[in-house]
Structure 1
């Protein structure tokens, strides 16, 4: 029992099974991204509020959840929730706050996820996910060599500058070409440009590198997936060198395996 809230009350993260269609797998990634992004938004809003208790109440009411309902989900008495919201109980630590936010999201999902979907549209997450398979900020920076090892990459152009990766975005190249505007493309960088942009469904690698070359902001690393190293267009290699961007080809056969390697190893 921590801060009056039982750790067992919140569901565990389960890795995706190998079964299921690619559409189902991507949909699972998207649900995870939505939860992570919205959870950070809510937790940050509460943490930086001048009155944490009132902020907790605001978000509970925004989700339309009663104190008694939230208390049952967290396996505590309703008075614990009331004490936090009124300030009678000391402000919650990060672990309690995390469980509070996750409980809000889980309860909303049981009702069909209406509030989560509304927040996703408001924050612009839904539009971005059309072309994004996965996006993540790493808890701690990872050496580029380790990142390349995890994805079974072959380096075509050695990365310059920073030797660390702070996050990554896995992109459906076909959908990105069809749907992304210039502003949307910049959002692929997430919270840091010191990240890897991983382009899937690539045939030659030319289009991703042309897009990278057009913009002033450069990623630390570009990863191509879906082709063999000897199939990469020489122009893509030349553009990577001109842009001072590392270029790598991942030899992992499936997108699902690529994402699970990243999620499970970094």
Structure 2
């Protein structure tokens, strides 16, 4: 089993990976940080070396500062840590999720930053969308978050909604498994920071209150008629790296 297909959503593992890699990169003693994280995960140099396809002496050289780790080595090192943890049932990742306050990511299906600003029309095209109100957006959109609304209702606190905005509030938040749209729009209403666009997927009947909130908050609301949440994610990922061609 690949570790990203197991217990934890890929977004959780990605955030933990970025946290570890970032600490290595900014440290004045990257070798010491590598050793620290290996010991936190309870892995031996030999275990990490096996997962990386190198000898344990290579790991030792990096940890003792005889070699400086580049981006490729750091990425493979972090992947090895996660693979070791996966083989043991994720004991360390489970602790890090609580320590880093990443529980909200259990409701996140995907979260990315765009490599360039995209217009509202491009986003509508990507999600196979139909505008539900007349709000226009002059500024560009710089990222997206796709959320399972049912899981969000169960697991997210009010403050967790802010975490869904990622690096910028100029993003689209896509809610899947939506029935009437009331819950996502109430979350928007009470949040101090608002996303640029709301997209709803699976909508069966539009709640008038949801549309009223959208008008009051001056937020474009889009109905996605894509076949599945998976299709939305795939099309948004294509949009995140290059203009979507249809």
Instruction: Place the TM-score, normalised by the shorter chain, in its bin.
Output: 0.7 to 0.9
1:236 aligned partner: 210
2:31 to 53, 60, 79: 53
Distance 1:113 1:179, change over 3 A: closer
Moved more, 37-46 or 76-85: 76-85
Report deviation, 1:65.
1.2
Query: Are 2:18 and 1:40 equivalent residues in the alignment?
Result: yes
TM-score (norm 1): 0.79
TM-score (norm 2): 0.85
CA contact (8 A) 1:71 1:81 kept: yes
Cα distance between partner residues in 2 of 1:235 and 1:257: 28
Distance 1:113 1:177, change over 3 A: closer
1:226 aligned partner: 202
1:138 aligned partner: 113
CA RMSD of aligned residues (A): 2.5
Distance 1:104 1:261, change over 3 A: same
Moved more, 208-217 or 132-141: 132-141
CA contact (8 A) 1:156 1:248 kept: yes
Query: Are 2:178 and 1:202 equivalent residues in the alignment?
Result: yes
Q: Unaligned stretches of 5+ in structure 1?
A: 1-10, 14-26
Distance 1:69 1:216, change over 3 A: closer
Report deviation, 1:161.
4.3
Cα distance between partner residues in 2 of 1:29 and 1:117: 10
Query: Are 2:38 and 1:64 equivalent residues in the alignment?
Result: no
Cα distance between partner residues in 1 of 2:9 and 2:156: 20
Cα distance between partner residues in 2 of 1:153 and 1:162: 19
Query: Are 2:60 and 1:82 equivalent residues in the alignment?
Result: yes
Query: Are 2:91 and 1:114 equivalent residues in the alignment?
Result: yes
Cα distance between partner residues in 2 of 1:159 and 1:98: 41
Cα distance between partner residues in 1 of 2:159 and 2:178: 22
2:159 match: secondary structure: helix
Query: Are 2:190 and 1:214 equivalent residues in the alignment?
Result: yes
CA contact (8 A) 1:159 1:221 kept: no
> Per-residue CA shift, 1:84-117, capped at 9, x if unaligned?
111111x222122111111111121122221111
Runs of 4+ in 1 over 6 A off after TM superposition: none
1:155 aligned partner: 131
Report deviation, 1:180.
3.0
